[in-house]
Amino acid sequence: MSAPQQPNLPIDADFPVELANELARREVFNKHHYRPNSYLHKWWARRCGTTFRLILKGLVEDEALRDFLAPAGLQGKIILDPMLGGGTT
C-alpha cells in the first residue's frame, strides 16, 4: 500500500523565499520604530508577522499572494478596532 498523494500547493512550487527574507529583515530591523517586541506573533516561535503571513498565503492560491502585496486601498476610510489593537486578553 502506498502513501496517499499529497495535494500540490502553491507554497511547494513557488514560495518567494527572497521576498520573505527581505520583508522579515525589514520588519525585524525596524520593529522598534513601528511596534514593540511583544507584537511579534506568539503562536509561531515569535516569528515576525510577515513570515507567518507569507507562509499562510503560500498555502493558498497565487491570487492571495498578489492580494497580500497589493495596496490596501484604505485611504479615507475609518477603521473600527474595538479592542484598540490589544486583542481580547
Q: What's the CA dihedral at 50, 74, 82, 34 to 10 degrees?
A: 40
Radius of gyration of the chain (CA): 16
Instruction: Please give the Cα distance from 26 to 18 (Å, whole number).
Output: 12
Report if residue 79 sits inside a domain: no
| pLDDT single digits (tens) 22-50 | 888 887 776 656 555 555 555 545 667 77
Report if residue 38 sits inside a domain: yes
Instruction: Please give the Cα distance from 46 to 14 (Å, whole number).
Output: 25
What's the domain count of the chain? 1
Report if residue 25 sits inside a domain: yes
Report if residue 83 sits inside a domain: no
pLDDT score of 30: 66
Find which of 1-5, 19-23, 56-60 is predicted with most confidence, using mean pLDDT. 19-23
pLDDT of 67 higher than 80: no
Range of the domain at 57: 10-69
pTM exceeding 0.75 = no
pLDDT of 76 higher than 80: yes
Instruction: Please give the Cα distance from 81 to 74 (Å, whole number).
Output: 14
C-alpha cell at 59: 498555502
Report if residue 1 sits inside a domain: no
Q: What percent of the chain has pLDDT over 90?
A: 0
